[in-house]
Amino acid sequence: MNGPAEGGRAGKAARHDLHFLPLGGSGEIGMNLNLYEYGGKWLMVDLGVTFADDGVPGVEVLMGDPQFIVERRDQLVGLVLTHAHEDHLGAVQYLWPELRCPIWATPFTAAFLRRKLQETDFADQVEINVVPLGGRFKVGPFDLEMVTLTHSIPEPNALAIRTPAGTVFHTGDWKIDPDPLVGDVTDDARIRAIGEGGVLAMVGDSTNALKPGTSGSEADVRRTLTELFAKYDGRIAVTCFASNVARLETIATAAKAVGRDTALIGRSLWRIKDAAQEVGYLRGLPDFVDERDAGFLPRDRTVLICTGSQGEQRAALSRIAADQHPHIGLEKGDVVIFSSRMIPGNERNVLRLQNALAHLGVELVTDETHPHVHVSGHPCRDELSQMYQWVRPRIAIPVHGEALHMQAHAELARSCQVPFALVPENGTLIRLSEEGPEIVDRVPTGRLAVDGDRLLPIGGSVLRNRVKLMWNGAVIATVVVDRKGRLAAPPKISAPGLLDPETDMDFAAGIVEAIEDGVGRAGRGADDVKLEEAVRRAIRACIRERRDGKPVVDVHLVRV
């Protein structure tokens, strides 16, 4: 092999060039899947998921398609996880059997991942290497160092990725929080030292690149929630990202200050809590109350921490809002505090949830109505500028953001005197060198959807037809013919989502007539394929004439 990918200019690349290849997370929020190549070996950084929207019915979780690296699995030396957020490790439980590579992570991330893998049948096959905070280790030709940052989860790390071709500073998710409350502060001394040693490229978080100033501190949230909790007499529910361990501690501490017990409502919250306590976080707090017991506590003595801040239909808060939770209910006089940001793409789901809560008479508190009920875990422009002053890379590669975020990030990097900035797309293979970044190839990319116990490609026939069914309905026709291709019985049709059997009888009769005409046009002696296609065309023509729709048409042909 002469280069990292066959075909195109990449096939002519020098063996010891350094390449970066995003397969997820560039041009979108979530699904982070990044690859580095040096000396014919590949290193994967993060393997995450994102939430699906209404455009993919029946699907809640999406991830990047790893087929490019699956085809080169013998060259994949390992996966390094920067932190334990779902958009950075949530795809491991689905995709690891295709990759079968060792994994490196810090203690909290490793503990959380092990709990997720317990839901699989391959947990005991996964090699998880625990790296201490600030640890340095080698994976294939890559000399790696974990660098402590702050974020909205314990143990977020940047990676210093050293190769003979240069050092890349891969930031992961981060912010600069002087008082994170849980975990260590950003190790700016180490970052400056790495910058002084020379950094070829910084690959970094773009989420808040459009926002001026700084992201704020978790200490601000703790003060705000403590003040808010003291105002209410009813039941208080707070929804936040389950993985935000500092927020769990903040809520529990604020509840204790006003004489309330804290209950965890949602399985993922308990999983995070157990992983955090296993490695030393969330110590010294009162025990959390189980949801079965929380329903019996006095309403003025309870704070509920609920999953579902993004309006996920199966999460605890959506079930409570729909009055479908077996143990917890909300009513007029109660309050729900959204201690989270609305992820782009989730607006419809969140607003649907908030409207359902409003119908119950519940008061809503968000970061729009009350500043500092949430602070972002991602750097705003002043923090990005500070990081560029510390790292001083030759190249800036914005990732983790939509196109507007990444372009704003690139412009900011240039204003910070970074000589080169390149905005990638998923699938762009980028050579990193002192002369600047160069796109040398584009590789196929895609998305996979979790559908029950299987993974389906977005754009594949199953999901395409599901979307067509959602928008246009279906026609299922049963046609019985004799050996000569003549109708042996009247055609039968079913048209879910298209016809009302009580009001569309004439339309249904028209479709039956079209089927009869289609069989006649196919002619005697037509084979099954020709007959089915003739009937399908006739049905579609009839529907176009009357409704201008394009339903899924399925023909069952029976010969007698």
Domain locations along the chain: 9-213+376-457, 218-365, 473-559
Say what the pLDDT of residue 4 is: 60
Please state, in angstroms and rounded to a whole number, the distance separating the CA atoms of residues 129 and 244: 23
Say what the pLDDT of residue 10 is: 43
Q: What angle do CA 178, 87, 369 make, to 5 degrees?
A: 55
Please state, in angstroms and rounded to a whole number, the distance separating the CA atoms of residues 48 and 31: 4
Element (H, E) at 320: helix 316-321
CATH class label, 218-365: alpha beta
C-alpha 167 chain-centroid distance: 28
CATH code assigned to 473-559? 3.10.20.580
Task: Output DSSP code: residue 289.
Answer: B
Both structure tokens of 405 = 């975020």
Which of these CATH numbers, 3.40.50.2300, 3.60.15.10, 3.10.580.10, 3.60.70.12, describes 9-213+376-457?
3.60.15.10
**pLDDT per residue of the chain (560 residues) written in tens, 0 to 9:** 345 654 434 444 445 899 999 999 999 989 999 999 999 999 999 999 998 877 787 788 899 999 999 999 999 999 999 999 999 999 999 999 999 999 999 999 999 999 999 999 999 999 999 999 999 999 999 999 999 999 999 999 999 999 999 999 999 999 999 999 999 999 999 999 999 999 999 999 999 999 999 999 999 999 999 999 999 999 999 999 888 999 999 999 999 999 999 999 999 999 999 999 999 999 889 999 999 999 899 999 999 999 999 998 889 999 999 999 999 999 999 999 999 988 877 888 899 999 999 999 999 999 889 989 999 999 999 999 999 999 999 999 999 999 999 999 999 999 999 999 999 999 999 999 999 999 999 999 999 999 888 998 988 888 888 888 888 889 999 999 998 888 999 999 999 888 888 888 899 999 999 999 999 888 777 889 999 999 999 999 999 888 777 889 999 999 98
Is the alpha carbon torsion for 414, 418, 419, 425 positive or negative? Answer: negative
Say what the pLDDT of residue 555 is: 93
Distant-in-sequence, close-in-space partners of 448: CB < 8 Å, separation ≥ 6: 62, 63, 64, 65, 94, 455, 456, 457, 458
Helix runs in 363-492, H state only: 381-391, 403-415, 461-472
Say what the pLDDT of residue 12 is: 42
Say what the pLDDT of residue 335 is: 98
- Residue by residue, DSSP assigns 263-277 as EEESHHHHHHHHHHH
Distant-in-sequence, close-in-space partners of 5: CB < 8 Å, separation ≥ 6: 11, 68, 429, 441, 443
Both structure tokens of 321 = 């809002």
C-alpha 469 chain-centroid distance: 25
User: Please, are residues 103 and 113 in contact by the beta-carbon 8 Å criterion?
Assistant: yes
| Alpha-carbon distances, residue 392 vs 34, 144, 192, 269 (angstroms) | 22, 19, 9, 39
User: Please, are residues 19 and 57 in contact by the beta-carbon 8 Å criterion?
Assistant: no
Domains 9-213+376-457 and 473-559 share a fold: no
What is the arrangement of strands in the sheet containing 201-205, beginning at the earlier edge strand? 136-139, 142-148, 157-163, 166-170, 201-205, 395-399, 420-421
pTM over 0.75: yes
